[in-house]
Amino acid sequence: MSFSAELKNCALPPHHTQDTLGAAFTELRALLGPENVEIVSTASLDDKSYYDPPKTHDPFHILGQDELVASAVLRPGSTEDVQAIVKLANKHRLPIWPTSIGRNFGYGGAAPRVRGSAVVDLGARMNKVLDLNEPNAFALIEPGVTFLGLYEEIQRRGMKLWVDSPDLGGGSVLGNTLDRGVGYTPYGDHFGTHCGMEVVLPNGEVVRTGMGALPDKNQPTGSANTWQLFPYGFGPFHDGIFTQSNYGIVTKMGVWLMPDPGGYQAFMISFQKDEDLHPAIEIIRPLRIAGILQNTPSIRSATLDLAVGGPRKDYSLTGKPLTSAEIDNAVAKSTTKIGRWSFYGALYGPEAVRDVFWAAIKGAFSKIPGATFHFPSDVPPEKSVLHIREGTLRGLPTFTELEWTNFVPNGSAFFFSPISPVSGDHADRQYKLAKDRCDEFGFDYIGTFTVGMRELHHIVCLVFDRTNEEEKKRAYKMLNLMVQDCADAGYGEYRTHLALMDQIAGTYNWNDNALMKLNETLKDALDPNGIMAPGKSGVWPQAYREVKKRVVSGTSKI
Amino acid sequence: MSFSAELKNCALPPHHTQDTLGAAFTELRALLGPENVEIVSTASLDDKSYYDPPKTHDPFHILGQDELVASAVLRPGSTEDVQAIVKLANKHRLPIWPTSIGRNFGYGGAAPRVRGSAVVDLGARMNKVLDLNEPNAFALIEPGVTFLGLYEEIQRRGMKLWVDSPDLGGGSVLGNTLDRGVGYTPYGDHFGTHCGMEVVLPNGEVVRTGMGALPDKNQPTGSANTWQLFPYGFGPFHDGIFTQSNYGIVTKMGVWLMPDPGGYQAFMISFQKDEDLHPAIEIIRPLRIAGILQNTPSIRSATLDLAVGGPRKDYSLTGKPLTSAEIDNAVAKSTTKIGRWSFYGALYGPEAVRDVFWAAIKGAFSKIPGATFHFPSDVPPEKSVLHIREGTLRGLPTFTELEWTNFVPNGSAFFFSPISPVSGDHADRQYKLAKDRCDEFGFDYIGTFTVGMRELHHIVCLVFDRTNEEEKKRAYKMLNLMVQDCADAGYGEYRTHLALMDQIAGTYNWNDNALMKLNETLKDALDPNGIMAPGKSGVWPQAYREVKKRVVSGTSKI
C-alpha cells in the first residue's frame, strides 16, 4: 500500500489532518527508517494489531474499535532515538504513547488513551539486559526485557538469583514496574525493588535518577556504580512521578533480584465455605505484617481456579453464571484439592526456618474448621493451580494462568482492582460489592485477594464474550458502577484499564481535586505541548484540557 | 524590646528592607499571635538560638555566624496556619524554611540556607500522634512527634509495636524521614516505611498523597482508611519529590511500625586489625542481601567507640589525632571488648529462627582471625557502646550516642556521608580517602559504615573545636576537598549539612546537569515566587538563580 493510502486508513489524532500527520510520519521515517514506522490501518484492527496479541486478549474490545486506536507504531532502537522521537513529536504536536511490551492485557495492553496517538514500541528493539550482577543481586535492563527473558539470561549465566514475575511471564519487567504491578515472591512490590532510572523527559532531555546523576567515566554506564544499589541519590527523589504517569519515557531501569533463599516450599490452604474468607483474612493480617508470611500471597475464589481448569460449560450447562451450589459441586469434584477459597503461599529459607514459620501458619489457619493443607506433592498436577503457583511464587515466569479467559466463549479479560485494609470485614464488603454487581449484571464473580504488606489488592477478573456487543456494553456499565460503589465505600483502585482512567482519577478528589491540580501543574511544566501520553492515569495536558472536560462530562469519548 | 528594635537586630533576607520585613512580620503576628512569631536577634545567637540546642551541637559554627541565620521563628498550630503562612510568604516574597524539630545537628539543625529566612517551626505546636493502630501497625503523626514521643505513646497504650530510631531519639520522625534518614531495625529505611503524606504546596494548596487523595467522610481524617496502609495510590506517586526538597511542607505523615518480632538478641563482633575491615565487609554483603543480617547493621571505627567512652585526652596527651599505636593501646585497655572495627547487629524472631541466623553469621565471621563475638551480657555496661546499640537496634530512642562530640574540647559534630557499594575494596578506598584527608588536616578519623540493603553509608563523624576559628576553616576546607575526592572516585553523598548542599548537588551533574534542570523546572512550576526553602539541596528558585550563580562560583556566600 502506498504511503498516502496508508495515511487514509489510519486514525487521525486530535488537531491533525492527513497532511500534518503525513509530514510527521515522513520525518519519523527518515529518523528511524521506514521499517520502524508502521502505520496502523483501522481496517485491519479486527484481524491483527501490530504487536499480534492473541485475540482473546485484545485490549480494544471493551469499548469497541473506534476508541484507543493508534495511528502508527514507532520502534526506536536507542535512548537517542527516543529523544529524537520526542523532539519531533513536539515539533508536530503528535501525541505519542510509550509502551514496553504491551502485554498487560487486562489493563489495556499497548493501546493508547487518545485515538490516533503514535505508539512508541520500546520493547521491539530496546530489549537488552545491560548489566547482571550476582554479588550485588541486580540487573540493569531496557524496556523490552521480559520476565522470561531476564529469567533465561540468569539461567544461562548460572547465577543463583530469582526474578519476581507477575501471573504471566511474557510482560516487560520495566513496564510492569512503571505500572506499579506486583509479583508473588518476597520481592513482590516491583516499585519498591527497582533501583535507578534513565528517563527521556517530554522536552527530549535525558535524566538519570538517584545515583545515576553522579557521573563516573570509569563505569560502562557512565554513571556511578551505586546507580543500581541505592535508589534515592541526593535531593528530590523523582522515580515515583515516572510511574503511572506521562512525565517521561523510562529507557533504562535497575531491578533488584532476590538471592536464592536456600530453600523453598509452596503450599495451598483450602477453605470449605464461602464464609471462611472472613476468618482467613483475619489470620493472614498479623502473619503477613510479622513477616511469617514472607511473600505476597493470594487467596482466590473457587471460580478463578475452576476457570483455569476449564470452560464454564464443564461445570454448568445453563449458560448462566455459576450458582453457589454449582460451585460447591465443582469444587467437590475437582481433583486439585481447592476450596471455595484457596490460599497460596510459600516458605523461603533453610528448612529449620521454614519449619518455624510453617508451624505458626498451620497452627493459625487450623482454627478454621475444615481447612486443609496441601503441598504440590499431595496434589495431582493436572489442571492444578497449586502447581502453577509453585512456579510463580519462586519467580518462575509462567504462561498458563490466564487460561481462565477461556471460561466463556471468545473470552476477554478485564481487571478491576480496588485496595482495602487487610480485615475480614473489608474483604467481605469488597467481595459482596463485586459479587452483587456481578449477579445483577449476569457475570461470574471471579476474584483474588493479593495480600500486600498492609493492604489487600482485590483483583476482580471480569471475563466476557468480546464478540457480543451487548455483553461488552453491559460489562462496561457494571464497571462504571463498581468504581462509584467503591469510592462511596472509601475504596480506590491501584491501577486500571485505559477505559476507566478518567473515572478512577476523578475519585481521588480530596480537597477539590487538589492532587489532580498538582498532577496538571507538573504535566504542564514538563510537557508544555502535551505530546506525551495525554490522558494517562486521567492526567491531561493543557492542550487537551477542553477534551478532558468533554470526556469527563460524558459528551465525548475522544 | 520594641518591635522596631527587634527588627533592627535581625538578619534581613535578600530583596528585603526593615520596612518590608516588618510589614510581613506584622501580618504574621496578626495571623499566629505575637507569641508565635519570634524575631531572632543576631546579637544573641552566640548564647542561644530559638530552639535552645546545647552549644556543642550548634549548627551555625562550621561557617560562622553570618551565614545560615534566621530572621524569625514562626510557630504554626495547624495545617491551616501553615497554608496561611505560605500565602503571606508569597505576598511578601519572604523566604521561609520549614523544620520539624531541628535536631539533625550534624546536618545543620534548624538553620536555614538563606540568611534572613523565617524558620517555620512545625514541631513547636504540631506534635500530635493523630492515629496509632496496633492491628495494622502504623501511626499518623504531625511534624513535632519525636522518636521518643512516639515510643512513649506506644508504651502508654501497651501496644506491641516498635519504632525505628536513628542514633538519637530526640529528633522528628517526620523530619528524619523527609531527610531520608536511617535507623537500625529491619525498618531502618525510613522513606521506605513511611506511608502517605499531607503536604502544603508553595501556593498554599494542601494535597494528600497516595490513598489520602481518596475522600471518605466516615473516617476521622476525611481520607480513605488505606491512607496509611498502601503508599502508592493511583497515578503519579509523588512522595519522593517532597523529600530532601523545597516543593512542599509536609504536615502529616503515616509511618509503618514493626510488630514486636517475638524475640531479639543484639550482638557485637570485634575485629582486631585495621585491615579486617576488608574481609568483614565481604562477609557482610551476602548475609545482608540474603536477609540473614535482618536489620541495618553498622561497623564502627575504634575511634568512634572510644570517643563515646571519653575525651581524647583519656587516650593521648599529645593533643594531636590518635596514632594507630595509641588506638591499639586504647582498644586493648578498654573494658568494652571493642576492636579496631566493631560490628553491631541483631537477631530478630523466635529463638529457633535466631539460632539458624546466628549460626550462619558466626560461622561466616569466624573466618577472620581474631574475631570475637559478644552479647551484652558478656560486656560490662559502663561506657559500653554495645549496651547503647542494644537499645537502638530494637528501636529504643537513646540519647548517649552523641557523647563522642566531647572527644575534643568544645566539640561540634559534622557528618559527611558518601555512598558506596558493599565491597571490601570500596570500604578500604572510602576509609583511606577520609583517613588521608583527616591525617593531612589534623583531625581524628572517626567513622562508621552503616549497611543498607545493597550499599554502604559511610558516615564520617568530624568533630572539631567550635571556638577555634582556624580549626573551623580547616575543617570546612577539608570537607570541600572530600566532596571532590569522592565525586572523582564515583561516590556521592546521600544527605548533607547546609554548608555543602550546593557543592554536593553540583556533583550530581550527569549529562550537563540534567537532573538539576529537572529540579529547577519543578521548583519554578510549584513555587514561582521562590519562597519555600530556597537553596535546599542546592535547588534554587528562579528569583534566586542569580544568587545561586554567585554562590556556586564562590563570589558570594549568601
Give the domain ranges of chain A: 3-124, 129-259, 264-497, 503-550
Judged against a pLDDT cut of 50, whether residue A55 lies above it is answered with no
Phi-psi region of A121 (alpha: psi -120 to 50; beta: other; left: phi over 0): beta
Nearest to A510 among B215, B350, B419 (CB): B215
φ, ψ of residue B208 in degrees (nearest 5): -115, 135
Which residue has cell 477478573? Answer: A461
Nearest CA in chain B to A228: B454
To the nearest whole percent, how much of chain A has pLDDT over 70?
94
CA distance A223 to A210: 10
Judged against a pLDDT cut of 90, whether residue A24 lies above it is answered with yes
Confidence of residue B394 (pLDDT cuts 50, 70, 90): very high
Q: Identify the residue among B179, B417, B515 best suited for mutation to test binding to A, counting A beta carbons within 10 A and taking the highest.
A: B515
Q: Among A525, A246, A206, which residue's Cα sits nearest to residue B521? A: A525
Known catalytic residues of B?
A: 107, 494-495
Q: Quick one: DSSP state of residue A532?
A: B
Q: Which one has a higher pLDDT value, B335 or A70? A: B335
Q: Identify the residue among B208, B419, B513 best suited for mutation to test binding to A, counting A beta carbons within 10 A and taking the highest.
A: B419
How close is the nearest chain A Cα to the Cα of B49, in Å? 27
Q: Does domain B264-497 have CATH number 1.10.510.10?
A: no
pLDDT (0 to 100) of residue A48: 41
Q: Among A434, A456, A481, A476, which residue's Cα sits nearest to residue A321? A: A434
To the nearest whole percent, how much of chain B has pLDDT over 90?
82
Judged against a pLDDT cut of 70, whether residue B65 lies above it is answered with no
Q: How many CA atoms lie within 13 A of A95 on its CB side?
A: 30
pLDDT tens per residue, range A238-273:
999 999 999 999 999 999 999 999 999 999 999 999
Nearest CA in chain A to B256: A454
Is A550 considered catalytic here? no
pLDDT (0 to 100) of residue B141: 98
Three-class secondary structure of residue B17 per DSSP: coil
Nearest to A225 among B214, B490, B505 (CB): B490
Q: A230-266 burial by CB neighbour count: b if 16+ within 10 A, else e?
A: bbbbbbbbbbbbbbbbbbbbbbbbbbbbbbebeebbb
A207/B505 CB distance under 8 A: no
Nearest to B234 among A223, A504, A522 (CB): A504
* CATH architecture for residues A3-124: 2-Layer Sandwich (3.30)
From the CA atom positions of chain B, what is the Rg in Å?
A: 23
The three-point CA angle A529-A534-A540 to 5° equals: 85
Q: Quick one: DSSP state of residue B172?
A: B
Judged against a pLDDT cut of 70, whether residue B289 lies above it is answered with yes
Average pLDDT taken over every residue of chain B = 93
pLDDT (0 to 100) of residue A51: 36
Which amino acid type is present at position A524? D
Beta bridge partners of B140: B131, B254
* DSSP-assigned letters across all residues of B391-432: HHTTT---S-GGGGGGGSTTEEEEEE-EEEESSHHHHHHHHH
Judged against a pLDDT cut of 60, whether residue A475 lies above it is answered with yes
* DSSP-assigned letters across all residues of B72-98: EEE---SHHHHHHHHHHHHHHT--EEE
Q: What is the mean pLDDT of residues B381-392?
A: 95
* CATH architecture for residues A129-259: 2-Layer Sandwich (3.30)
Q: Which one has a higher pLDDT value, A157 or A555? A: A157
Q: Does domain B503-550 have CATH number 1.10.45.10?
A: yes
Distances (CA, A) of A161 to A133, A134, A187, A262, A340: 9, 7, 12, 11, 35
**Grid coordinates representing A466?**
468480546
How close is the nearest chain B Cα to the Cα of A454, in Å? 5
Q: Among B490, B482, B396, which residue's Cα sits nearest to residue B445? A: B482
Contact, B151 vs B396, CB < 8 A? yes
B492/A219 CB distance under 8 A: no
pLDDT (0 to 100) of residue B60: 47
Which residue has cell 571493642? Answer: B338
